[in-house]
């Protein structure tokens, strides 16, 4: 976001202050926290890049502005900042930092700062002085040179304003004697340390030796931009919801899946405590305490939880909590992985509901056919049980792969870093194990001298096609599970899921970080599952065929004319069986959608004609209900479309509109080009979707309460299928709806059409 600069002034020799307007833009800052200022013009001139962290001096909650102080240096960054005039805008990201001044200060604070690490403390002290807060703070400050001592004047001023603040400085490094001589006793305080990481590590060791426990030491691991940057590179597109918190439980990083899962954006939650956001009434507070204490002791905890989204809806989640350790083994934060298992839970419930209904109906109607229905039910259960088992196996495999013990070294995914000549610059234990390399001896060897990368069709990638080369060339991240690693000397190979991303923060040279894992098992399971679903659905259909054909023969009077009442009963059986057939087809489609294995075969298509023919399929019902159907369909140039898939999307939406529009109701269909998209709009004046259920409309097997009353037989899969298809082909679907007034569905597809995708199976 961009914020205007309100004022700029020099407050002490070499220390500047800048005020940024905050207005009501959704930031929530506390004094002492960090933000990142981005000056895009500096990318080339400044070797450190265009972004810097600065700590905030004042709380914007009251003032709607933030004061940032920074120290003059010789960098191009300072020059640029100084030429920016009030009124212009800079980009701001954040908040990032961890040093938040405790509101109720039970213990006296000891700040220990080295060099420019003074900055966050200075910010907090300035804030305290402006707000007239009396905080008991002792600052131990180590600065090497006179240059750093330009802070002294500022610190002395603050000492006068805040009588309870004292500072002691040394020109040497922080050492045991300095701490001991500055403090009478060492326990009973909270220690905050800020400075270069070597200084932080050394100070922690000293404090530990003096008998200070880890729980009362706070230090700034998270301010390191690189750490957060790397978390982002590794986990932004990870399928699990991943969040990292500091020791106090304040969120410091969340990935996209987490945002998607919880409904919160990272901007809204960074700096807020996790339980405050996610805790539902169904979880006991005690659990959080136990979890917290467990991870503090270094344990990994896995638990099925019931969490709350931003909109207060509840979801089931399978979560793993792990401590994050620094090199000296100290825990400085937590990482959590969570997967939404709500749908699985719902699916179990709903499907058992379906089979039960069918059971009751059949039992009432006919004994002769009951045997066959039981067969069908058995197969359905077997299908679901096996699918479930396989799903569980898959999750387990993925979980085991993502389990972290210590951060990089022991992470259970292969990670390596190469330079632009593919020379290996870093390799973790798992990568070394998978690739059969030695973490020491094979350093600096060229990756492609040892391993080939193969395409899905088994051809070896040429140098320019390799993911690493493409990352260097485009500067963009690549994620794929289509490649296979193949060792040159003995041909050992395994399919991989890889994420390769540019890594520019180590130094200015081009490097690529690769995160990969062996997905042999997952591929096997996917294939087995796909084949199983195909065969199981065959088995499921066979008894249904018998029911259908026998009912037809009975109804036709081929084996003797039925009485009217008998005819009615057999018809009911026939329709129930047809419905079961539809459900089998829909479930089969769903399982393929979920495997992501369906083929997309685009061909030149007249979308308007396709829409018209889909509409014609519904002509009979539209006339039967005397629905007034208006169409405004613009002529659309030929587009590359998989007709079967788009037909399914059209069919599901039109079918819903017709189904839920009352007799003599109205449907308006509009097809047009809007900017670079094809836009379809289908408006009805039907029963609408209840507001409180609108967020579940695209959920598998979901049926709104009022929809269920109008048509008890729907599968609850149509919109889920439509959305899954559109997701895969780059389209979008959404709706606006008001209960009892009607619903309007919108579908968007880029004019460029669908891209061809290979898959294992076609949808039906």
Partner 1 sequence: MNEKKILVIEDEQTLANVLEFKLSHEGYIVKSVNNGVTALEVLAEEKFDLILLDLIMPIMDGFQVLEELKQRKISTPVIVLTNLNQAEDKKRVMAFGVKGFFIKTNISVFEIVDHAKRLLA
Q: Least separation, in Å, of the C-beta of 308 and partner 1?
A: 41
Based on CB atoms, which residue is closest to partner 1, 508 or 556?
A: 556
Q: Least separation, in Å, of the C-beta of 20 and partner 1?
A: 60
Polymer length in residues for the chain:
764
Q: Least separation, in Å, of the C-beta of 764 and partner 1?
A: 6
Based on CB atoms, which residue is closest to partner 1, 430 or 642?
A: 642
Q: Least separation, in Å, of the C-beta of 289 and partner 1?
A: 53
Question: What is the CA angle 121-126-132, rounded to 5?
Answer: 125
* Closest C-alpha to 333, from 229, 236, 227: 227
CA pair distance 370, 373, nearest whole angstrom? 5
Based on CB atoms, which residue is closest to partner 1, 61 or 545?
A: 545
Q: Classify strands 742-750 and 677-684 as parallel, antiparallel or unpaired.
A: antiparallel
* Closest C-alpha to 223, from 242, 195, 249: 195
Backbone angles phi, psi at 210, to 5 degrees: -80, -5
Q: Least separation, in Å, of the C-beta of 298 and partner 1?
A: 51
* Closest C-alpha to 493, from 518, 469, 516, 514: 518
Q: Least separation, in Å, of the C-beta of 762 and partner 1?
A: 4
Q: Least separation, in Å, of the C-beta of 599 and partner 1?
A: 9
Q: Least separation, in Å, of the C-beta of 530 and partner 1?
A: 10
CA pair distance 764, 761, nearest whole angstrom? 9
* Closest C-alpha to 697, from 661, 658, 723, 668: 723
The contact set with partner 1 (CB under 8 A) reads 372, 534-535, 537-538, 541-542, 544-546, 548-550, 552-553, 556, 558, 581, 584-585, 588, 761-762, 764
Based on CB atoms, which residue is closest to partner 1, 357 or 548?
A: 548
564-595 and 718-729 helices, crossing angle to 10°: 30
Q: Least separation, in Å, of the C-beta of 545 and partner 1?
A: 4
Q: Least separation, in Å, of the C-beta of 546 and partner 1?
A: 4
By the 10 Å C-beta count (0-12 exposed, 13-18 middle, 19+ buried), 675 is classed as exposed
Query: Are the C-beta atoms of 31 and 37 separated by less than 8 Å?
Result: no
Q: Classify strands 666-674 and 251-254 as parallel, antiparallel or unpaired.
A: unpaired
* Closest C-alpha to 170, from 162, 180, 161: 180
* Closest C-alpha to 92, from 43, 11, 21, 7: 21
Query: Are the C-beta atoms of 667 and 623 separated by less than 8 Å?
Result: no
Based on CB atoms, which residue is closest to partner 1, 229 or 579?
A: 579
Residue 448 parent element (H or E): helix 447-450
Q: Classify strands 34-38 and 89-93 as parallel, antiparallel or unpaired.
A: antiparallel
Based on CB atoms, which residue is closest to partner 1, 150 or 760?
A: 760
Based on CB atoms, which residue is closest to partner 1, 548 or 694?
A: 548
Which residues lie below 8 Å from residue 525, measured CB to CB, with a gap of 6+? 390, 393, 394, 397
Based on CB atoms, which residue is closest to partner 1, 541 or 700?
A: 541
Q: Least separation, in Å, of the C-beta of 373 and partner 1?
A: 13
Count the alpha carbons within 13 Å of 294 in the hemisphere toward its beta carbon: 15
CA pair distance 371, 546, nearest whole angstrom? 11
Backbone angles phi, psi at 667, to 5 degrees: -130, 130
Based on CB atoms, which residue is closest to partner 1, 625 or 761?
A: 761
Based on CB atoms, which residue is closest to partner 1, 599 or 744?
A: 599
3-state secondary structure 127-146: HHHHHCCCCCEEEEEECCCH
For residue 277, give the 3-state DSSP assignment. helix
Based on CB atoms, which residue is closest to partner 1, 537 or 737?
A: 537
Q: Least separation, in Å, of the C-beta of 543 and partner 1?
A: 8
Based on CB atoms, which residue is closest to partner 1, 197 or 545?
A: 545
């Amino acid at each position: 976001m961009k914020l205007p600069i309100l004022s700029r002034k020099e407050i002490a020799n070499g220390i500047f202050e800048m005020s940024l307007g905050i207005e009501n833009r959704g930031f929530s800052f506390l004094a002492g926290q960090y933000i990142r200022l981005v000056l895009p013009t500096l990318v080339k001139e400044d070797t450190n890049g265009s972004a810097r962290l600065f700590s905030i001096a004042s709380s914007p909650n009251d003032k709607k502005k933030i004061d940032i102080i920074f120290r003059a240096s010789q960098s191009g960054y300072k020059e640029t900042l100084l030429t920016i005039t009030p009124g212009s805008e800079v980009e701001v990201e954040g908040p990032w930092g961890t040093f938040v001044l405790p509101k109720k200060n039970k213990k006296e604070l000891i700040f220990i700062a080295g060099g420019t690490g003074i900055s966050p403390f200075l910010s907090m002290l300035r804030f305290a002085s402006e707000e007239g807060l009396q905080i008991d703070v002792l600052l131990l400050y180590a600065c090497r040179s006179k240059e750093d001592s330009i802070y002294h004047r500022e610190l002395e001023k603050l000492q006068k304003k805040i009588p309870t603040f004292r500072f002691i400085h040394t020109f040497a490094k922080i050492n045991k004697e300095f701490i001991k001589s500055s403090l009478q006793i060492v326990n009973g305080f909270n220690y905050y340390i800020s400075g270069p990481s070597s200084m932080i590590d050394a100070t922690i060791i000293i404090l530990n030796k003096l008998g200070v426990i880890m729980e009362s030491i706070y230090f700034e691991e998270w301010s390191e931009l690189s750490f957060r940057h790397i978390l982002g590179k590794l986990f932004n597109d990870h399928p699990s919801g991943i969040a990292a918190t500091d020791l106090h439980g304040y969120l410091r990083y969340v990935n996209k899946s987490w945002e998607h899962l919880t409904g919160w954006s990272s901007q809204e939650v960074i700096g807020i405590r996790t339980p405050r956001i996610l805790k539902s009434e169904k979880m006991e507070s005690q659990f959080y305490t136990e979890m917290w204490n467990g991870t503090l002791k270094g344990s990994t905890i896995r638990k099925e939880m019931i969490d709350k989204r931003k909109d207060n809806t509840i979801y089931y989640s399978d979560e793993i909590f792990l401590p994050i350790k620094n090199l000296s083994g100290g825990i400085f934060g937590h990482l959590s992985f969570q997967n939404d298992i709500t749908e699985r839970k719902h699916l179990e419930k709903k499907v058992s509901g379906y089979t039960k209904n069918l059971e009751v109906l059949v039992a009432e109607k006919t004994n002769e056919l009951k045997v066959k229905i039981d067969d069908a039910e058995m197969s359905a259960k077997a299908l679901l049980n096996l699918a479930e088992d396989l799903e569980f196996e898959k999750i387990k495999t993925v979980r085991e792969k993502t389990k972290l013990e210590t951060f990089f070294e022991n992470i259970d995914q292969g990670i390596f870093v190469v330079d632009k000549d593919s020379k290996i610059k870093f390799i973790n234990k798992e990568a070394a194990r998978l690739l059969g390399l030695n973490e020491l001896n094979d350093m600096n060897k060229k990756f492609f001298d040892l391993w080939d990368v193969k395409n899905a069709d088994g051809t070896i990638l040429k140098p320019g096609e390799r993911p690493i080369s493409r990352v260097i060339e485009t500067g963009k991240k690549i994620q794929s599970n289509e490649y296979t690693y193949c060792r040159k000397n003995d041909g050992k190979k395994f399919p991989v899921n890889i994420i390769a991303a540019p890594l520019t923060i180590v130094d200015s040279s081009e490097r690529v970080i690769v995160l990969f894992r062996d997905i042999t098992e997952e591929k096997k399971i996917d294939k087995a599952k796909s084949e199983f679903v195909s065969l199981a659905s065959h088995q499921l259909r066979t008894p249904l065929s018998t029911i259908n054909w026998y009912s037809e023969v009975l109804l036709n009077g081929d084996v003797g004319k039925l009485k009217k009442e008998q005819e009615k009963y057999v018809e009911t059986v026939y329709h129930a069986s047809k419905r079961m057939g539809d459900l089998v087809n829909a479930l089969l489609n769903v399982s393929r959608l979920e495997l992501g294995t369906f083929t997309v075969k685009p061909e030149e298509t007249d979308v308007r004609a396709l829409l018209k023919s889909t509409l014609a399929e519904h002509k009979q019902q539209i006339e039967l209900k005397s629905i007034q159907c208006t169409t405004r369909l613009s002529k659309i140039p030929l587009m590359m479309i998989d007709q079967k898939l788009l037909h399914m999307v059209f069919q599901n939406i039109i079918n819903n509109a017709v189904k839920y529009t009352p007799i003599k109701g109205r449907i308006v269909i509009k097809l047009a080009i809007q900017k670079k998209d094809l836009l379809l709009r289908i408006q009805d004046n039907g029963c609408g979707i209840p507001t409180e259920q609108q967020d579940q409309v695209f959920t598998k097997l979901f049926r709104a309460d009022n929809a269920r009353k109008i048509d008890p037989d729907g599968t609850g899969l149509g919109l889920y299928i439509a959305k899954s298809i559109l997701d895969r082909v780059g389209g979008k679907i959404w709706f606006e709806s008001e209960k009892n007034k009607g619903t309007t569905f919108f579908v968007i597809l880029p004019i460029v059409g669908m891209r061809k995708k290979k898959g294992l199976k076609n949808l039906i």
